[in-house]
Homo-oligomer: A and B are copies of this chain.
Amino acid sequence: MALDRKDLAILAELTTNARASHTELANKVGLSSTALARRQKTLEDDGYIQAYQAALDLAQFGLTTTVLVRIALESQSDEALKAFEAEVVKCPSVVRCFLMSGTDDYILIVLARDIQDFERIHRTELSRLPRVARVQSSFALREVVNRAVPTVVFGETKR
């Protein structure tokens, strides 16, 4: 099951306009609407397309501050990891959380309105996480790159 460049063109276009109609996509890719509908359905059925989702402008909600939080636990026991993870998924300001190799156990990406708001988040969300030994926060001054999909995906010309 390999994807040719037309499939990749469809995916690339759908990552921009998820609501594009078959005819609209067909014109951009260079296919008929019938052929495009078939390919798009195949891409969905095969799981290449997970979902169609609206991208919100978080700045409109005042969430302009991104913070990277490094967290080390008291213990790396399986029980400690489970306890921590069960709680971190409930934190409403956390958008990503990685279990990391190396010294830092977890790295979180937190969105806040501003620095004062992060202080509140640190107090009400982060400091209540269990088994935490150390929390270290770094503020992002600017976001240089923000892609949902690496461009390398669309460059793999297999056919």
Quote the shortest CB–CB distance from A86 to chain B (angstroms).
10
A95 to B57, Cβ gap below 8 A? no
Q: Chain A 103-116, CB within 8 Å of chain B: the 1/0 string? A: 01011100100000
**Closest B residue to A111 using CB positions:** B150
A144 and B55 contact, CB distance less than 8 A: no
Contact of A68 among B66, B98, B144 (CB under 8 A): B98
Measured in the bound complex, the distance between the Cα atoms of B22 and A95 in whole Å is: 28
Q: Which of A69-120 contact B (CB under 8 A)?
A: 85, 88-89, 92-102, 104, 106-108, 111
A52 to B50, Cβ gap below 8 A? Answer: no
Binding site for B on A (CB under 8 A): 11, 14-19, 46-58, 60-61, 63, 66, 68, 85, 88-89, 92-102, 104, 106-108, 111, 138-153, 155-156
Could you show 21 A-B contacts with beta carbons less than 8 Å apart? A14-B53, A16-B51, A18-B51, A18-B52, A18-B54, A19-B52, A47-B60, A49-B56, A52-B54, A53-B55, A61-B153, A66-B98, A68-B107, A88-B145, A89-B144, A95-B149, A96-B147, A100-B139, A101-B141, A104-B138, A107-B140
Which 9 residue pairs of A and B lie closest in terms of their CB atoms, listed nearest first? A92-B152, A14-B54, A97-B145, A18-B52, A98-B140, A97-B144, A99-B142, A92-B151, A50-B57
